[in-house]
Every structure is written in C-alpha cells, then in structure tokens.
Amino acid sequence: MVETVLLVGVIASIFVGFNIGGSSTGIAWGPAVGAGLLGKATAAALMTFFVFLGGWTVGRNVMDTLSGDIIAIEISLAAGVAVLFFIGMGILIANVFGVPVPTSMTTVGAIAGLGLATDTLNFETIGWIVSWWIVTPILALWIGATVGRYIYPELNRRFEISASEGPLLGLDRSGSVPKPALGPNTTYQELGGTVTVLVIG
C-alpha cells in the first residue's frame, strides 16, 4: 500500500513540476529570451537545472515548514500526495486559462484546504499570509510606477544597451590555450547588461 501511494506521489510530483515549469519559466526567462540572449531550449534547460537545485537544497523543508505553521498536524504521505495533486491541478487550470498564479499561493491554498478538512487550520497564520497577498501587489504597483515614471527614463538614457552584430563572446586563439574573449563588436556595457539579465533570471 505504501509503495502504491509513493508511486502516485512521484507521478503527482512530476505533474506539479511540469505545471510549475509552464507557469514560471516565462516569468524567469522571458526577458532574456525576448531580448534574444537565450533560446527557448536553453531557458528550459536552465530552469530545469535551477528547479532541481532549489528542490534539493531548500525545497525538502518547505512542506515541513508550511505544515507546522498553517496546520496543526504533520502531513502524512497520503495527505502529501493529495496536496501535491491539488497544487498541480490549481496551476494547470491557471496555465490553461493564461492566469499567472504563484506556486506559493497555490501551495498554501492546498495545505489550507487540508487544514479545513481536518479542522486543524491556523486561521491567524492564514490571515497574516492573505493580508500580505493583498498588500504586496499594491506596494509593488506603486514601486513599479515610481521607478517607471521617474527612475527608468534616466537609467535608460545613461545606460542604453543595443545589441551588436555577431556573437557576444568568442575564443581568443592567439595563445597556446584558447580563452574566452569579447565578440568582434561586443562592448563591456553590452556584456554587463547581458550578464545582469541572466543573473536576474
């Protein structure tokens, strides 16, 4: 029985992973792909690598943290599989209708649903989380509007970057060992801007 639940859990995890990739890859790598700095396949590969890295380093503690704060019981294997399934379904529905939805909100919602079903939901914690879901977009709107109206035009005037013809980087073969070098028309400003966009992604 445990083996069957575990197998279903692995399938549910893959299902969630695909949906998270469909929901979040464009957000993380859209600017780099749109600017022509990366191809779609490279962006997908980078997203896959960093998702696995995040899952291995910090992701394993997420369910324990959320279950300890949002609900008052430890999440069993079967309950964890159910939570994963509903996370995946929530993100899938959002993807189908083109609605951007944070994975964290979907996860908290699924765990809160488990808390309601088992009468173990911590309403104080949920109230605190939901209040920040309301406040954060309003703050982000005003910060974005202020930056876009007053700061961005000046930054764009001072640091405007245009893509040069040819490759960004090449190999300098003048020595005994080839080493990376700027492309034939690449400026340090263009290289710095490209690296910045990739690091942000």
Q: What is the mean pLDDT of residues 101-118?
A: 86
Predicted model pTM: 0.68
pLDDT digits 0-9 by tens, 156-201: 777 666 777 777 777 777 777 777 777 777 777 778 878 888 888 8
127 lies in some domain: no
7 lies in some domain: yes
> What is the signed CA dihedral for 116, 8, 54, 21, rounded to 10 degrees?
-90
Dihedral sign (CA 173, 38, 59, 52): negative
78 lies in some domain: yes
Position 9, amino acid = G
24 lies in some domain: yes
Residue range of the domain that includes 43: 1-121
99 lies in some domain: yes
Q: How many domains does the chain have?
A: 1
140 lies in some domain: no
136 lies in some domain: no
100 lies in some domain: yes
pLDDT digits 0-9 by tens, 74-96: 777 788 888 888 888 888 888 88
Distance CA 198, CA 103 (A): 22
